[in-house]
Structure 1
Amino acid sequence: QALCFQIDKLDKAVAAAHTFSVANPEHMEMRQNLEYYKMMAGVKDTDFKDLEARPHMEEFRMGVHFYTEEQFEPAIGHFEKALEEYFLADTECRALCEGPYDYDGYNYLEYNADLFQSITDHYMQVLNCKQNCVLELASRPGQSTPIEDFLPAHLNYLQFAYYNIEKYQEAIECAKSHLLFHPTDEVMNQNLAYYEAVLGEERAKPVAFRENFQKYVNRSVLEKELLYFAYDVFGIAFVDPDTWTPAEVMPKRLREKQKVERETAARITEEIGNLMKEIEHLVDEKTKDSLEIAKMVREGGPLLYDDIIVSMISKSLNGSQRVVLDGVILEEECRELHHLSNTAASFGDGYRGKPSPHTPNEKFQGVTVFKALKLGQENKVPLKSAHLFYSLSEKVRRVIESYFRLDIPLYFSYTHLVCRTALEDKQEDREDLSHPVHVDNCILNSEALECVKEPPAYTFRDYSAILYLNDDFEGGNFIFTELDAKTITAEVQPKCGRVVGFSSGSENPHGVKPVTKGQRCAVALWFTLDPRHSERERVQADDLVKMLFDSEETQSTQDEKAQKKSSSAEEHPTSEATQMEDRETKEGQTVAAVLEKDSTELPANAEVKVSESSSVHNSNTSQEPQQQDPTTATDAALDSSNVKDEL
């Protein structure tokens, strides 16, 4: 890029700089160069291209982009092209593995083997190389880890994209192909059953999986069996790059050996971790006071409404950027929204119809602001209640923005009125959570104690809040945890008018304890500081409110004027032309505080199982299927999906 810049070939200089920056995103000097190029005359946006972009990865990236925008037809085209390019790249990668034996440096000087041992060593090296093509093709420049389950992820995206454009035969084909990799995937099997029911048994029966995937899986399994045999008998190490490999492929003796090794490694890691925690604790104690003071100064802005009180702050919640507010809405407002949730909400809303997205022991239902307003417009729910939902969500946004002293405005990212209902016959010996511990804007890896801020996480979310509507249920407490998703740092009991607000990053892993009896209702809100990611439905809701309530006020005023004119004409027939019109007035809402319960801080330890699911879920043909974003099956895929992480 430097040489091209010197000879005034800016397009090539920009492309070279961009290519280097993609592979080395932390390189500060190159980032500065790119900023400089952006300000130069004659430089076009199209000049910023990756010269080393791999066709299959570029097509996959474009497919994810269109999928996220819910443009399913172009997404399908890119995913299908990505598969075509993937198999070409896989063939090339495997061919390159069939080169001379790699002696690993100068080991050839000491290598001494007979014919059969030499053949075995070389062939195992070739097979190992071919297996690792999976990692090679799933790797991205600038990323330390490859995309997990990369090839099956294409099929996961495709089956749901085809479903959305009502191409059920293709959806069945992709679902069956995906099941070649994960035959016990419960949700994908339910997707398949739904597609077959919609298409009809006679038309669905002949549809089979794609043959190239069956050949791919069979070949890969045979290679793994040979590699594991060599590992077991000759000690030639093999690390399986795939997550879908059937357990029986590995010899039993080797499985038991690896189990012992894992347990030993886990014990050593735990001991080292405990030692490191002690050291960190000593260091943290010295800096804790100054950090807490800085956080407290930043938080604690005005609450804007006299009746709202701060019940708990970050310090009492054992974390940072956390707050519990009470008296945000009135009892009657809670009851009205609770009634709206049971009138307007549909099962699995936000999850394309999946009635139990987080746990099979509870029923989930919800409704968005725009959907509630549309139902109100159609007289299916009280329009007043829908407008209250709209207004109170805006109230919470303003309070959170003010309390955390944000310099730029918060925008709605997603708003959802949700209820979780305990299923009476499924509460015995229950150990799961109502919502597993997670972080709102990054992928939580509780074992590695890290949170990766990349898709499919909603990386643009900056603050979150939950407005609770009731407390007449058992369980369902909100919890903050450490990054291990097990150690509870604070616990908050829901009640009418209470709001829990917090920043959406890795500093605030959170979840919901199981609802064991009754129904727990709340308004879940996520906010972003980036207007480019503001909620599209919110803009539609703003327009609908303006249309509905401006027209209502106009009609009401006209009716009032007509009535006054009629009355005046009867009493003073000669003075009709001199009647004065009343000024229009707008009604405002007053909000009073209702303080009933004190928040509860219960630091404790709890075992939390983090569960994820992908794809569509619905075994009932009368409901639409639901899919969480397929990238939940890839752990680090390129973009996000339709799933909403309800709190």
Structure 2
Amino acid sequence: MSEVKRRDKNSKKPKGSSISRPDDERQNHTEFRLKTHWKYIAYVLTVVFTAAAIYLKVVYTEPRVATFAHADRQYQKQHVTIVCSDDYKRDTFTECKPKFCGRVVMDGIVTSEEVDHLLGVAKMGLSYGGSNGGASILDLHSGALSKGDKFISIYSAFPGGEGFKEEDFKIYRTVKNKIQQAIGDHFKVPLHALHLTKPTFFSRMNTSEAKNIHDEYWHPHVDRQTYGSFHYTSLLYLSTFNKDFTGGRFIFTDNGTETAVEPRAGRVSFFTSGSENVHFVEKLKSGVRYAITVSFTCDPEKAISDPDVV
């Protein structure tokens, strides 16, 4: 009997040993859940604040681009009047110089057949040259054609018996006259006072890396400062944004805000050429973009004649 009692005494837990009780387990579980809960909240808040910081950076550091003319819409006439710069104050061409300034987009001036024909002219001419960089030009008036890192004469590049046909120049003149009429009508300029000037040219843009400053068409500039003779600038687009290419929108800049014209085949865009219309072409992302720049002056001494068969 004494042995049994001795064993019972020896079997008791020593002092200081812990015995897990249900209350302790519940407390430990609650603490674990609280720690996990707060870790989750901290993670969520980190994600939210990071996203907010990225959003604010984009909103307040990237220019906001409003679309003036969408490529998937047709406009009989989309226009805005803006305050003229001082660029015309010294001009003496009172009949012609801008009485008010603005930007205009019109679809339907040029027929689809005329667009297709002029696109064919551009592709044929540029097939004899092409810049090493992303921007090539073809000027039917001077014959200038980008080739490599220089210019050659397209009229010297043609093999014997080949070249542009009278029909090519006829359609070119017809389209130029339509654009001239639209500019004259909108800006209240008599046609006899509005003259074609240089440079007037086809352009082709692709995604090739720029090789010189002439390939970097994405820098903001003012036509009147760049070319001198311009009073009114126009563009006829021969390809379409988001169909034939991405990027390549025509963008006006106004004190930190930007307004885009999305090219559409057959679309004519024109505007006064002074500092009120600072602009650039957005860097191309994919595809090939074709257009014609048709420029007009009020100065008869800066006028150029229509191109013709050589």
Does 1:416 pair with 2:201? yes
Pairwise CA distance, 1:343? 0.6
1:439 alignment counterpart: 222
Question: Which deviations, in whole Å up to 9, do the C-alpha atoms of 1:58-97 show, x marking residues without a partner?
Answer: xxxxxxxxxxxxxxxxxxxxxxxxxxxxxxxxxxxxxxxx
1:312 alignment counterpart: 79
Does 1:494 pair with 2:263? yes
1:504 alignment counterpart: 273
Would you say the 8 A contact 1:463–1:527 is kept in 2? yes
Give the count of matched residue pairs: 199
2:116 alignment counterpart: 335
Larger radius of gyration: 2
Pairwise CA distance, 1:329? 1.3
Give the 5 Å matches for 1:72-471: 309-314=76-81, 320-345=101-126, 347=129, 355=131, 360=133, 362-369=134-141, 371=143, 378-407=161-190, 409-414=193-198, 415-423=200-208, 426=209, 434-442=217-225, 457-471=226-240
- Secondary structure (helix, strand or coil) at the match of 2:123 reads helix
* Moved beyond 6 Å, runs of 4+: none
Quickly say closer, same or farther: Cα 1:342–1:488, change in 2 above 3 A: farther
- Secondary structure (helix, strand or coil) at the match of 2:224 reads coil
Quickly say closer, same or farther: Cα 1:517–1:524, change in 2 above 3 A: same
Would you say the 8 A contact 2:245–2:288 is kept in 1? yes
Q: Distance in 2 between matches of 1:347 and 1:377?
A: 17
Question: Which deviations, in whole Å up to 9, do the C-alpha atoms of 1:440-490 show, x marking residues without a partner?
Answer: 112xxxxxxxxxxxxxx433321100111111111110000136xxx2431
Does 1:517 pair with 2:302? no
Would you say the 8 A contact 1:440–1:504 is kept in 2? yes
Q: Distance in 2 between matches of 1:508 and 1:376?
A: 42
Pairwise CA distance, 1:383? 3.6
Pairwise CA distance, 1:492? 0.5
Question: Which deviations, in whole Å up to 9, do the C-alpha atoms of 1:32-79 show, x marking residues without a partner?
Answer: xxxxxxxxxxxxxxxxxxxxxxxxxxxxxxxxxxxxxxxxxxxxxxxx
Q: Distance in 1 between matches of 2:289 and 2:115?
A: 12
Would you say the 8 A contact 2:79–2:102 is kept in 1? no
Q: Distance in 2 between matches of 1:308 and 1:385?
A: 27
Quickly say closer, same or farther: Cα 1:394–1:482, change in 2 above 3 A: same
Whose strand proportion is higher, 1 or 2?
2
Would you say the 8 A contact 2:234–2:293 is kept in 1? yes
Would you say the 8 A contact 1:347–1:366 is kept in 2? no
Q: Distance in 2 between matches of 1:341 and 1:369?
A: 13
- Secondary structure (helix, strand or coil) at the match of 1:327 reads coil
Question: Which deviations, in whole Å up to 9, do the C-alpha atoms of 1:10-42 show, x marking residues without a partner?
Answer: xxxxxxxxxxxxxxxxxxxxxxxxxxxxxxxxx
Question: Which deviations, in whole Å up to 9, do the C-alpha atoms of 1:131-165 show, x marking residues without a partner?
Answer: xxxxxxxxxxxxxxxxxxxxxxxxxxxxxxxxxxx
Q: Which amino acid aligns with 2:275?
A: S
Q: Which amino acid aligns with 1:410?
A: L
Q: Which amino acid aligns with 2:106?
A: L
Would you say the 8 A contact 1:347–1:365 is kept in 2? no
Would you say the 8 A contact 1:419–1:521 is kept in 2? yes
Q: Distance in 2 between matches of 1:332 and 1:500?
A: 19
Would you say the 8 A contact 1:344–1:367 is kept in 2? no
- Secondary structure (helix, strand or coil) at the match of 1:401 reads helix
- Secondary structure (helix, strand or coil) at the match of 1:436 reads coil
- Secondary structure (helix, strand or coil) at the match of 2:163 reads coil
- Secondary structure (helix, strand or coil) at the match of 2:277 reads coil
Q: Distance in 1 between matches of 2:232 and 2:124?
A: 29
Larger RCO, structure (CA 8 Å, separation 6 or more): 2
Instruction: Tell me the TM-score normalized by structure 2.
Output: 0.56
Would you say the 8 A contact 1:329–1:496 is kept in 2? no
Q: Distance in 2 between matches of 1:493 and 1:340?
A: 23
Identity of aligned residues (%): 27
Does 1:531 pair with 2:303? no
Q: Which amino acid aligns with 2:220?
A: V
Q: Which amino acid aligns with 1:468?
A: Y
Question: Which deviations, in whole Å up to 9, do the C-alpha atoms of 1:179-206 show, x marking residues without a partner?
Answer: xxxxxxxxxxxxxxxxxxxxxxxxxxxx
- Secondary structure (helix, strand or coil) at the match of 2:119 reads helix
Quickly say closer, same or farther: Cα 1:523–1:377, change in 2 above 3 A: farther
Give the 5 Å matches for 1:624-635: none
Quickly say closer, same or farther: Cα 1:308–1:482, change in 2 above 3 A: closer
Quickly say closer, same or farther: Cα 1:458–1:433, change in 2 above 3 A: closer
Q: Distance in 1 between matches of 2:257 and 2:294?
A: 22
RMSD between superposed Cα atoms in Å: 3.2
Does 1:478 pair with 2:247? no
Q: Distance in 2 between matches of 1:482 and 1:377?
A: 50
Q: Which amino acid aligns with 1:412?
A: L
Give the 5 Å matches for 1:19-98: none
Q: Distance in 2 between matches of 1:376 and 1:409?
A: 39
Pairwise CA distance, 1:376? 12
Structure 2: segments with no counterpart, 5+ residues: 1-73, 83-99, 145-153
- Secondary structure (helix, strand or coil) at the match of 2:276 reads coil
Q: Distance in 2 between matches of 1:519 and 1:460?
A: 29
Q: Distance in 2 between matches of 1:511 and 1:433?
A: 10
Would you say the 8 A contact 1:478–1:511 is kept in 2? yes
Q: Which amino acid aligns with 1:528?
A: T
Pairwise CA distance, 1:402? 1.8
Would you say the 8 A contact 1:467–1:500 is kept in 2? yes
Q: Which amino acid aligns with 1:470?
A: S
Would you say the 8 A contact 2:79–2:105 is kept in 1? yes
Q: Which amino acid aligns with 1:334?
A: V
